[in-house]
Amino acid sequence: MNSQKLDSQKYNPLTPEEERVIIHKGTERPFTGFYYKHQDTGLYQCKRCDAPLYRSTDKFDAHCGWPSFDDEIEGAVKRVPDADGHRTEIVCANCGAHLGHVFLGEGYTDKNTRHCVNSISLNFKSLNFNDLHPEIKTDTAIFAGGCFWGVEYYFKELPGVISTKVGYTGGHIANPTYHQVCADTTGHAEALEVVFDSSITNFETLARLFFEIHDPTQVDRQGPDIGSQYRSAIFYNSEEQKLIAEKLISLLQIKGLKVVTELTPATKFYEAEKYHQDYYGKNSKRPYCHFRVKRF
């Protein structure tokens, strides 16, 4: 029995193009792979044997045309001298599948490492952050303060924030679209879901930022954006979050601000369309109606 037939019994079947890259150490064309711009949370696995290779939290955009990671799952990736005598090849430690190459000292991230991986060498398994990092205690907060692009812009780089996601909540329509919400008939607000590391930051720090990046005295609007979908609201996940929000509102009222921010128990959060996620980051722009004003 030849080795190719043994592989087909032991490992996942591959298309001719997958074999060209994974078995014969080829390279896919840059900017063409499915996982190059992929941003979901989970594990990247070996296409040939399903072994977990990389966590999505270690993925970054090196603008090189291939998925890039600055770390691998311990023991999952093997480094070997490339046949060209210059580069270092990376292969799946479990089955030897060709993944790509690793480069050091480029300065893209603090780890100073770039695993440049062929998208075609990977599969993906969706998981939430807690599944990926059970050692980290996380919490979630949901804020609405006008256009969710601007709200996300300020929260995204806050120390302790693990992830941000824009979406819709507080209304009566399931799975709303952006156009439905913009019609101001769904009851939903444009909102931001923030997952944070509670050992690094806390809800009060996030809520203070929230009150400083939008005008909490405006009713159903924020700057030029008008409608109940742009209302100021905190959708609290616990009684503790509610009490903290009430305390901060009282402090602002003492300062003379007529705060109209709604405090509402959190309900179903519907993720917005992908083109809305990290909008300003992806388009290298800054918010047009959100500015930070010191209020505390």
Return the DSSP state at 63. Answer: S
Rounded CA separation 257/248 (Å): 11
- Which two structure tokens, joined as six digits, stand for 220? 């159903």
Distances in Å between the Cα of 44 and the Cα atoms of 41, 92, 144 are 10, 12, 32
Q: To 5 degrees, how large is the angle CA 128–CA 129–CA 134?
A: 115
With contact defined as beta carbons under 8 Å apart, do 83 and 8 qualify?
Answer: no
Return the DSSP state at 199. Answer: T
With contact defined as beta carbons under 8 Å apart, do 153 and 275 qualify?
Answer: no
Residues with catalytic annotation? 116, 147
Q: Cβ of 284: how many Cβ atoms within 10 Å? A: 6
- Which pairing describes strands 232-236 and 262-265: parallel, antiparallel, or unpaired? parallel
With contact defined as beta carbons under 8 Å apart, do 252 and 295 qualify?
Answer: yes
Q: To 5 degrees, how large is the angle CA 30–CA 34–CA 38?
A: 105
User: Tokens 């001298």 — which residue?
Assistant: 81
Q: At what angle do helices 239-254 and 203-213 cross, to 10 degrees?
A: 40
Amino acid 176 reads P
DSSP helix/strand/coil, 207: helix
